[in-house]
Amino acid sequence: MISKMKKLTFLIYHQEYESFLSQIRELGVIHVQPRQAGLMDDNLQQSLAKRAQYKEVLKDMSFKIKEKADDTIHRDLPVDDLLSQYTELNNQIANLTQQLPSIDKEIAEMNVWGNFDWQAIRNLEKAGYHIQFYACSEREFNPKWEELCDIVIIDKTVGRMSFVAISHEPVRLEIEPLRLPEQSLTQLEAKKAKVQEELSTAKNRLTQYCVTNYNTLVQYSKELDGEIDLIKVRLDGEPQAEGAVMVMEGWIPAENEQPVKDFLDQGSVYYEIRDTQKGDNPPIKLKNNWFVKMYETLTDMYGMPSYTEFDPTPLIAPFFSLFFAFCLGDAGYGLVLIALGMILKKKMPDMKGIMNLVISLGVFTAIFGTVLGTFFGINIYEATWVPEGLKNFMVSGKIEVAGGTYDKQMILALGIGVFHTIVAMLIKALVQTSRFGFKNALGAWGWFLLVGFGTIIATFMFLNLIPENVSKWALIAIGGIAAIGIYLLNDLHRNVFINIGAGVWDTYNMATGLMGDILSYMRLYALGLAGGMLGGVFNSLGLMVQDGIGGIPGWVVCCLILVLGHAFNIAMSCISAFVHPLRLNFVEYFKNSGYEGTGVLYNPFTNIDKK
């Protein structure tokens, strides 16, 4: 749910403005209302540039840390020195890395000529010999060159020749002599080994530097964020009375009103606290129980609700969990997620919230996977070792509907989609009633009545729970009442003929869009079926290999295939089970519920803890 907010307005004497900002920062519950979006000064621009640099370095550091970063904050290392040393280490690595291709090129050039001593060549030149190195194609080689000097062919491969020309007097051939590296092959390989060793040492030094100083830079980054917040809030104050008085506006949760009053009454600041009014845009603070709170991240991914909307998280939580479990569709995989979440929760305390979500999704998957009758790719509905009482709760096999035979799980997916859509339409009607009044929400109520109650009556008729003639007249009555809201009273401020036209247009959009929305829920069935079939394939493959190899080696290979295969299937299925349920909530549900998600997150002006 959305916490109720109160609006604050301050009048502060300009000489007390800075001390007042320190006081409300210490209080830590006031969300300051921005005076003008994008208001900047040089100090803020420089700070924002620094923050971007910090984040870039932190991102780079995180990739280099192979173990847990040091928790100690090294205050003796100023942030400028920290960044400078980090850049220096990176430059050293870049320089060494750039040397290797050049050395490799020289080694490749010298491999043709073998490992000879350049000093011996120089001694021969001092003795009066002229020695030159050449390379050319066999076509370019002129036999007459052997009359001018002694030719020693060193290498001859794939139509190309490498040779040495030796003479007492300088000779000039039709091709240019090669300029070989001035070091021998042994020296070049030793040089490469030395550079590689230096590079490895530099990389280890950089990794250790990141481990030692990562959290230090994180703390500096948090403190910079606090400075940026202070600069922004300082800019949000609006000078009045020729700069003698500063006016500031802000928001507080209603539950903090009395503590804020007590705090402000101690000073000499004039303030006013009032309830929200039409046209206000208060920040959004969500207030949910421990279960729903885990799913607030999903709501924030799309956008916070506006103050006049309902918090969608309490409905996203159960539906997303159900959709995830349906897509993953395997009770064994659910147990794996539970175990993985519990292990990582202990090893990574900082990710406790995410791991709790993983455990929650694992519980849903374990339960719903049992309902679907799948355990690590095994169809437990057909297993003899599963109690018959448990099988009564499983959804498996076929069902005859309207003269056709369909999979029960497919019908279940469509039924969930219909229910989810009806809930969305109910939420839309409730939100419009809350925002604009019941009279201005008759169109939304009409559609909910038609689709929601129409579906209920049609279901009762299909299951033979009510007589056919009763259901017929019930549908006619529901359709007639809904039509009044949809076609005649959808907007009381418009001409009735315009309302009819708008109703017809809405009918067209509903007819073309609603069926597509409901069919989108087929993905739940398809993804669950695909994951279960792939798990079964790995089971069959492992057993086939065991039968073929036999004995202990066969079981070892079989277990390896099962572990790797199911690990791959879990990873791929989890990705699908996250993305597609998210889409069903963000597209199908939000569209039919009229959710806008234009709210601003409550972000109180508070101190950054200095360690």
Please give, one letter per residue, the 3-state secondary structure of 281-299: CCCECECCCHHHHCCHHHH
Q: Based on the domain organization, do 428 and 380 belong to the same domain?
A: yes
- Domain residue limits at 390: 290-441+479-593
Q: Based on the domain organization, do 396 and 247 belong to the same domain?
A: no
- Does the residue 280 lie in any domain? no
What torsion, rounded to 10 degrees, do the Cα atoms 37, 41, 43, 44 define?
A: 10
Last residue of a domain, one of 179, 197, 225: 179
Query: What is the C-alpha to C-alpha distance for residues 592 and 417, in angstroms, rounded to an integer?
Result: 12
SS3 489: coil
CA neighbor of 301 nearest in space, from 289, 310, 312: 312
- Does the residue 457 lie in any domain? no
CA neighbor of 13 nearest in space, from 250, 270, 244, 249: 244
Q: Based on the domain organization, do 261 and 294 belong to the same domain?
A: no
Long-range CB pairs of 113-120, under 8 A, 24+ apart, other chains included: 113/154, 113/155, 113/162, 113/180, 113/185, 114/154, 114/185, 115/184, 115/185, 115/186, 116/184, 116/185, 117/184, 118/182, 118/183, 118/184
Mutual angle of helices 313-328 and 408-436, in 10-degree steps: 170
Q: Based on the domain organization, do 233 and 365 belong to the same domain?
A: no
| Phi-psi domain of 594 (left: phi exceeds 0; alpha: psi -120 through 50; beta: other) | left
Number of domains comprising the chain: 3
Q: Is the dihedral of CA 541, 543, 546, 547 positive or negative?
A: negative
CA neighbours within 13 Å on the CB side: how many for 529? 14
- Does the residue 239 lie in any domain? yes
Residue 41 phi/psi, 5-degree rounding, is: -140, 175
Q: Is the pTM of this model over 0.75?
A: no
Question: Token pair of 77, please?
Answer: 């290392």
Query: What is the C-alpha to C-alpha distance for residues 313 and 298, in angstroms, rounded to an integer?
Result: 8
CA neighbours within 13 Å on the CB side: how many for 312? 36
Q: Based on the domain organization, do 153 and 242 belong to the same domain?
A: no
SS3 133: strand
Query: What is the C-alpha to C-alpha distance for residues 299 and 582, in angstroms, rounded to an integer?
Result: 10
Q: Based on the domain organization, do 29 and 121 belong to the same domain?
A: no
Counting every residue written for the chain, the total comes to 611
Q: Based on the domain organization, do 387 and 525 belong to the same domain?
A: yes
Question: Token pair of 87, please?
Answer: 């850049």
DSSP tag of 304: B
- Does the residue 608 lie in any domain? no
Q: Based on the domain organization, do 325 and 427 belong to the same domain?
A: yes
Whether residue 8 contacts residue 260, with contact meaning beta carbons closer than 8 Å, is answered with: yes
pLDDT score at 97: 92
Residue type, 340: L
pLDDT score at 101: 92
Q: Based on the domain organization, do 307 and 360 belong to the same domain?
A: yes
Query: What is the C-alpha to C-alpha distance for residues 41 and 58, in angstroms, rounded to an integer?
Result: 26
- Does the residue 418 lie in any domain? yes
pLDDT score at 237: 67
- Cα(first)–Cα(last) distance of the chain, in Å? 34
- Does the residue 420 lie in any domain? yes
Residue carrying the six token digits 């490895």:
200
Last residue of a domain, one of 275, 301, 316: 275
Judge residue 288's burial from the number of C-beta atoms within 10 Å of its C-beta, 0-12 exposed, 13-18 middle, 19 or more buried. middle
CA neighbor of 303 nearest in space, from 586, 580, 582, 32: 586
Residue type, 454: G
The angle subtended at Cα 512 by Cα 508 and Cα 518, nearest 5°, is 135
Q: Based on the domain organization, do 145 and 170 belong to the same domain?
A: yes
pLDDT score at 379: 86
Q: Based on the domain organization, do 171 and 240 belong to the same domain?
A: no
Mean pLDDT by 10 residues, the chain (611 residues): 88 78 84 70 80 89 81 85 91 92 90 87 88 90 88 86 89 88 89 93 91 88 82 70 75 88 81 85 89 89 88 92 92 92 82 87 92 88 80 81 76 90 90 84 85 83 76 82 82 79 81 83 89 88 84 87 91 91 90 86 79 57
Query: What is the C-alpha to C-alpha distance for residues 341 and 328, in angstroms, rounded to an integer?
Result: 16
- Does the residue 545 lie in any domain? yes
SS3 545: helix
In sequence order, what E strands does 196-253 have?
A: 238-240, 245-253
DSSP tag of 305: P
Whether residue 69 contacts residue 219, with contact meaning beta carbons closer than 8 Å, is answered with: no
- Does the residue 283 lie in any domain? no
Query: What is the C-alpha to C-alpha distance for residues 577 and 328, in angstroms, rounded to an integer?
Result: 6
pLDDT score at 551: 82
Long-range CB pairs of 454-460, under 8 A, 24+ apart, other chains included: 454/478, 454/479, 454/482, 455/418, 455/422
Q: Based on the domain organization, do 159 and 230 belong to the same domain?
A: no
Judge residue 542's burial from the number of C-beta atoms within 10 Å of its C-beta, 0-12 exposed, 13-18 middle, 19 or more buried. buried
pLDDT score at 241: 63
Query: What is the C-alpha to C-alpha distance for residues 465 and 457, in angstroms, rounded to an integer?
Result: 9
